[in-house]
Structure 1
Amino acid sequence: MRWTATIMLVIMAGVFIGTKQVLDLHPAWGYVHAFSEAAMVGGLADWFAVTALFRHPLGIPIPHTAIIPENKDRIADTMADFLRTNFLTPAVVARRMQAMNIAKAAGEFLVQPTKGSQSRIGAGASELIAGILESLDPDRLGGQVKAGLKSQARKIEIAPLLGQMLQTAMADKRHLPLIDALVRWSGLTLEDNEDLVRDMISERANGIIRWTGLDGRLSKSVLDGLYKLLAEVLVDPEHPLRDKIQEGLEQLADDLVNNPDMQAKVERMKNEVLENEAVARWWEDVWERMRAGMIRMARDPETTLGGQIGDSLAELGKALRDDARLQTQVNRFARRTAVGVATRYGDQIVRLVSETVRRWDARTLTDRVENAVGRDLQFIRINGTVVGGLVGMTIHFADQWI
């Protein structure tokens, strides 16, 4: 547009020079000559006016030119004051928000599908979760999570907690399956180690018993007696050995809750487990598998994570779109929030505008304003050329006939 306006000015100069030689040939050339002469004046005047906004014309420091660069700070303050006065007042914000149904618009946005059954914001949320999990350093994150869990575990006194859990289980008779499992485990352990039991009995028998071969019969009798005892304990709910186990569990639960020595022992065991490198490596491996699984779930809309995000957001969107009372409440909350933000932070917002413009150098401000409105300003030059020419031709007409 700058080139167009400039070429028009050059053409008018050429017409002015050319018509000066033919003025005596016909009266019409006088009108053309007057048009071109006034058009040059109008075009040059508007070129000067437009240029003076942004820089000194031809680099000459004429007073009251380069208006925008010279008054950059004042313009920044004026813009901020205009914004604060006309846009960020509570009354203006409330009036504007009153005409907006933010809840319905949000609901329609949430239920708009993109792929499958997911809303587009649900798909975006799933992708965001997956992206965050992928961007995090697995080793560093795993170490941080492990350190956090270890720190929290150190703060928990695990002995009283275990004791209370055991007391509660015994009060509800939920420990009985544990006793049955313990008895069965003892029988299986004994069966797997029969040779070891026989060797122990044989080593402790005297020479006469081993010489007569009675150690084998003795071992068999001991094993049979143990199997019989375990079977009786398993089938008889009133067996005395069960009572002994019950007493032992009750004592253990009481010690875990009330005995400082037992609590200290359990805490030492807990800390040893937490410091074990094998446990640390196991946790890191578990965390990495969890992270990879969560990434796959987030990216797949048919999985639990991806589906739940999409379904939850879609249900929220339908409620916001269709429930008038919910819309009223949400819109009222949004309006009050916006008014509160304008009231509390309006000055800070406009100060941000003012300080940002102040920080720009004069060349940056000039270029940005000129790029924003420069096309329209070049139309001023074009219009000035045309209007100036018409005015000049009108004056010539009046001069000829008055």
Structure 2
Amino acid sequence: MRYTATGLLVAMAGVFTLAHFNEAAHPAWGYVLAFAEAAMVGGLADWFAVTALFRHPLGIPIPHTAIIPENKDRIADTMAGFLRDNFLTPLVVARRMRDMNLARAAGDFLIERREGEIGRIRAGAAELFVDLLESLDPERLGKQVRAGLAKQAEKIDVSPLLGKMLETSMADNRHRPLIDAMIRWAGLTLEDNEEMVRDMIQARANALLRWTGLDERLSNSVLDGLYRLLAEILVDPQHPLRGKVEEGLAKFAQDLQHDDEMRAKVERIKADMLANPALGEWWMGVWERLRHALIEMARNPQSAMAGQLGSSMQELGKTLREDPALQLQVNRLARRTLVGVAQRYGEQIVQLVSETVKRWDARTITGRIESAVGRDLQFIRINGTLVGGLVGVTIHALTQLF
């Protein structure tokens, strides 16, 4: 669409040139000339207006241009205020919830069947079980799980187990996504710290390089070389440096299984971890993995758990759909819960939106808004060109008449 709008403007310039040289040949060329001239003015004016929203036209810092990047923080605060005033105030939430029958909707969802033998109740049961697992307090149930796992971990020689896991992963090439992620992380880290790297290189450059300005070129060359190296490693599975990393991982896996010194070191680390109370959160991560495994079981429609929950949840769905008193209680609870969430956490949610937008760089927010508006921006230019031409030919016709 950008090419179309620009092409139309160029076409008007061509028509203007043609009409200018043939104006004396026939009075009709005067109308064509007026149309093309005004169309160019309208198209250029709307190009300037559209461009000024997102960037400086032609890179010239004209006042009141690049409006969105220059006012990014104010836009973020306005968006956050709009969200707060229209969605996250307790009064608004309560008013919107008053006309909603969530209980009946939940009952319909649980009972309604999908295509085939398995009803939506099966999937609904899985989701409800997921919600139950999500609601478990890790400080209560997780502590018991943590204590039991700690006792079992003391009895396990983890070094051979870790080595075998690493060796098996490498045999199945499952370690490559990890290496790819490390390379991407290195690239992003380098990108975030470009200025620091440039300063380090320039600080170590001699006076002659700084005087001639070659230190900046040197730092650019070093950074470009590092980016190119990371890109080559990422796209080339046979890259020599990737091979060196895999050799190191293979040796590490062997040492974990067969090197007594390495195994003793791993056992000391394990003992230190088990004795360190500051690593209690790590044990909670173990519980989280177990919980996710249970969630996966619940989401399997062929499992016994999903089937048992399905029967119970189907009865619950019928009750929710047919019992007005229960619907009233459930809807009231849901309304109070959501109103409480809005009242307690509304400001934090709004602040999260505002801070997220403020953290975006100008190029990011400009690109996202421009992409969201999309084709309509270019239609503004096209319409400006055509409307300008029509206004121009109208004015020309009026001048001829009067």
Q: Same fold (TM over 0.5)?
A: yes
The gaps in structure 2 that reach 5 residues or longer are 135-143, 154-290
**Letter of the 2:369 counterpart:** V
2:128 and 2:355 mapped to 1: Cα distance?
Answer: 38
Q: Please report how far the alpha carbon of residue 120 of structure 1 lies from its aligned counterpart in structure 2 after TM superposition.
A: 4.4
Equivalent residue for 1:234? none
Equivalent residue for 1:7? 7
1:43 and 1:296 mapped to 2: Cα distance?
Answer: 58
Q: Does 1:121 align with 2:136?
A: no
* SS of residue in 2 equivalent to 1:24: helix
User: In the TM superposition, what are the counterparts of 1:209-224 in structure 2 within 5 Å?
Assistant: none
2:41 and 2:384 mapped to 1: Cα distance?
Answer: 9
Q: Please report how far the alpha carbon of residue 325 of structure 1 lies from its aligned counterpart in structure 2 after TM superposition.
A: 2.3
Equivalent residue for 1:179? none
Equivalent residue for 2:50? 50
2:296 and 2:72 mapped to 1: Cα distance?
Answer: 54
The gaps in structure 1 that reach 5 residues or longer are 133-140, 151-290
1:17 and 1:127 mapped to 2: Cα distance?
Answer: 73
1:31 and 1:353 mapped to 2: Cα distance?
Answer: 53
2:327 and 2:296 mapped to 1: Cα distance?
Answer: 35
Equivalent residue for 2:340? 340
Q: Please report how far the alpha carbon of residue 25 of structure 1 lies from its aligned counterpart in structure 2 after TM superposition.
A: 2.4
1:126 and 1:78 mapped to 2: Cα distance?
Answer: 37
**Letter of the 2:80 counterpart:** A
Equivalent residue for 2:78? 78
Equivalent residue for 1:262? none
Q: Does 1:379 align with 2:379?
A: yes
Equivalent residue for 1:257? none
**Letter of the 1:94 counterpart:** A
* SS of residue in 1 equivalent to 2:25: coil
**Cα pair 2:109 2:124 within 8 Å, conserved:** no
1:123 and 1:380 mapped to 2: Cα distance?
Answer: 51
Equivalent residue for 1:287? none
**Cα pair 1:104 1:321 within 8 Å, conserved:** yes
2:45 and 2:297 mapped to 1: Cα distance?
Answer: 69
Equivalent residue for 1:97? 97
User: In the TM superposition, what are the counterparts of 1:240-255 in structure 2 within 5 Å?
Assistant: none
2:384 and 2:361 mapped to 1: Cα distance?
Answer: 31
**Cα pair 2:301 2:307 within 8 Å, conserved:** yes
Q: Cα gap change, 1:54/1:146 in structure 2, threshold over 3 Å: closer, same or farther?
A: closer
* SS of residue in 1 equivalent to 2:62: coil
Q: Cα gap change, 1:3/1:123 in structure 2, threshold over 3 Å: closer, same or farther?
A: farther
1:16-73 CA distances to partner (integer Å, 9 max, x unpaired)? Answer: 1111122222222211211111111011001001101111101111111111111111
Larger Rg: 1
Q: Cα gap change, 1:92/1:125 in structure 2, threshold over 3 Å: closer, same or farther?
A: closer
1:134-175 CA distances to partner (integer Å, 9 max, x unpaired)? Answer: xxxxxxx9996465799xxxxxxxxxxxxxxxxxxxxxxxxx
1:93-126 CA distances to partner (integer Å, 9 max, x unpaired)? Answer: 2221122222222222222334535424246459
**Letter of the 1:3 counterpart:** Y
**Letter of the 1:308 counterpart:** Q
Equivalent residue for 1:17? 17
Q: Please report how far the alpha carbon of residue 391 of structure 1 lies from its aligned counterpart in structure 2 after TM superposition.
A: 0.7
**Cα pair 1:77 1:354 within 8 Å, conserved:** yes
Q: Cα gap change, 1:297/1:34 in structure 2, threshold over 3 Å: closer, same or farther?
A: closer
Could you state the TM-score of these two structures normalised by the residue count of structure 1? 0.56
Q: Please report how far the alpha carbon of residue 298 of structure 1 lies from its aligned counterpart in structure 2 after TM superposition.
A: 5.8
Q: Please report how far the alpha carbon of residue 82 of structure 1 lies from its aligned counterpart in structure 2 after TM superposition.
A: 1.8
* SS of residue in 1 equivalent to 2:24: coil
2:335 and 2:147 mapped to 1: Cα distance?
Answer: 41
2:299 and 2:61 mapped to 1: Cα distance?
Answer: 63
**Cα pair 1:16 1:37 within 8 Å, conserved:** yes
Equivalent residue for 1:314? 314
**Letter of the 2:37 counterpart:** E
2:300 and 2:128 mapped to 1: Cα distance?
Answer: 9
**Cα pair 1:38 1:391 within 8 Å, conserved:** yes
**Cα pair 2:122 2:307 within 8 Å, conserved:** no
Q: Cα gap change, 1:297/1:387 in structure 2, threshold over 3 Å: closer, same or farther?
A: closer
2:356 and 2:85 mapped to 1: Cα distance?
Answer: 19
2:351 and 2:369 mapped to 1: Cα distance?
Answer: 20
Equivalent residue for 2:367? 367
Q: Does 1:106 align with 2:106?
A: yes
Q: Cα gap change, 1:146/1:340 in structure 2, threshold over 3 Å: closer, same or farther?
A: closer
Equivalent residue for 1:59? 59
* SS of residue in 2 equivalent to 1:113: coil
**Cα pair 1:122 1:309 within 8 Å, conserved:** no
2:13 and 2:315 mapped to 1: Cα distance?
Answer: 71
* SS of residue in 2 equivalent to 1:21: helix
1:327-354 CA distances to partner (integer Å, 9 max, x unpaired)? Answer: 2221222122222222222111110110
Identity between Structure 1 and Structure 2 (%): 67
1:333 and 1:142 mapped to 2: Cα distance?
Answer: 31
2:67 and 2:25 mapped to 1: Cα distance?
Answer: 47
Q: Please report how far the alpha carbon of residue 395 of structure 1 lies from its aligned counterpart in structure 2 after TM superposition.
A: 0.6
Equivalent residue for 1:355? 355
**Cα pair 1:111 1:318 within 8 Å, conserved:** yes
1:249-273 CA distances to partner (integer Å, 9 max, x unpaired)? Answer: xxxxxxxxxxxxxxxxxxxxxxxxx
Equivalent residue for 1:37? 37
Equivalent residue for 1:187? none
2:303 and 2:24 mapped to 1: Cα distance?
Answer: 92
User: In the TM superposition, what are the counterparts of 1:192-203 in structure 2 within 5 Å?
Assistant: none
Q: Cα gap change, 1:301/1:38 in structure 2, threshold over 3 Å: closer, same or farther?
A: closer
Q: Cα gap change, 1:120/1:8 in structure 2, threshold over 3 Å: closer, same or farther?
A: farther
**Cα pair 1:126 1:299 within 8 Å, conserved:** no
Equivalent residue for 1:194? none
